[in-house]
Amino acid sequence: MGRNALIAGNWKLNLDHHEALHLIRDLGLRLNQLELSKVEVAVHPPFTDLRTVQTIVEGDKLPISLGAQHVSHHAKGAYTGEVSTTMLAKLKTQYVLVGHSERRALFGMDDQLVQQTAAAVIAEGMSAVICVGESAEEREAGEMTAVLERQTLAAVRGLPATAADAIVLAYEPVWAIGTGQAATAEDAQHAASFLRETLSSSLGKAAADSIRILYGGSVQPQNTEELLGGPDVDGVLVGGASLNGATFAEIVAAAVRCYG
Ligand code: 13P
């Protein structure tokens, strides 16, 4: 399909801006030794680290794209504690995670808010990394595809096919996040293929074929190559293993082996 890989690190609520500086320098040195023409690397630090990471990435010309973990769907105004898409775009942020399961479960982000946030991110010229995934209970109840379909269709509702360039979908089964129990490569491919069909029903086949679909949940250097083996899996979204430069660079190296 000609889709390049995206290897994204979600730092979650970890690393202050000093720690971020060390990690990004270390990661940059390691990535500079890899051939990254078909593999893109992104990091999603906490808000307070973004300016530091941006400065180092630009100054040292590191092959790293900048991402955020969340953003407000409001443009500006009396919304204490929020950060806007304009503020992120000004820092040359390229990607924003939207609807991570932790935001959905712990901070009340529902499908409608996911849709509004994704639209705001795209309108500002950034890409939305829309996260979807079923819980263990939903999976056991046989509701996996219904949940994935509902979350995906809600997130892209109202978007034109031309927005495909600005959409990444991340399949992150909740039961695999932070548990050490990653999905199998077959499970990841099965879900990714279903998600692509779902995108196709809403945005059309050409758009769906161009959208990168990532897998996330207990990704490690050891399971990356296998997970990337599925034809519909175009990258990984990494939590814990992205907090160490050597480990995250090993995951990127595994993707380089797959994509050449
Ligand atoms: P872990 O890689 O720590 O399981 O986290 C996955 C995740 O939630 C990435 O967004």
- Which ligand 1 atom sits closest to the C-alpha of 178? 4
Question: pLDDT tens digits, residue range 25-60?
Answer: 999 999 999 999 999 999 999 999 999 999 999 999
Question: pLDDT tens digits, residue range 192-245?
Answer: 999 999 999 999 999 999 999 999 999 999 999 999 999 999 999 999 999 999
Alpha carbon of 17 to ligand 1 centroid (Å): 21
Domains of the chain, earliest start first? 5-259 (3.20.20.70)
Question: pLDDT tens digits, residue range 95-105?
Answer: 999 999 999 99
Q: Letter for the amino acid at 128?
A: A
What pLDDT was estimated at residue 7?
98
Any atom of ligand 1 within 6 Å of the Cβ of 116: no
The number of angstroms, rounded, from the C-alpha of 72 to the middle of its chain's C-alpha atoms is 17
Phi/psi at 167 (5° precision): -125, 135
Any atom of ligand 1 within 6 Å of the Cβ of 249: no
| Residues identified as active-site | 100, 172
What is the pTM (predicted TM-score) of this model? 0.98
The label of the residue with tokens 């879900």 reads 191
Distance CA 85, CA 51 (A): 15
Tokens of 124: 């500002």
Any atom of ligand 1 within 6 Å of the Cβ of 217: yes
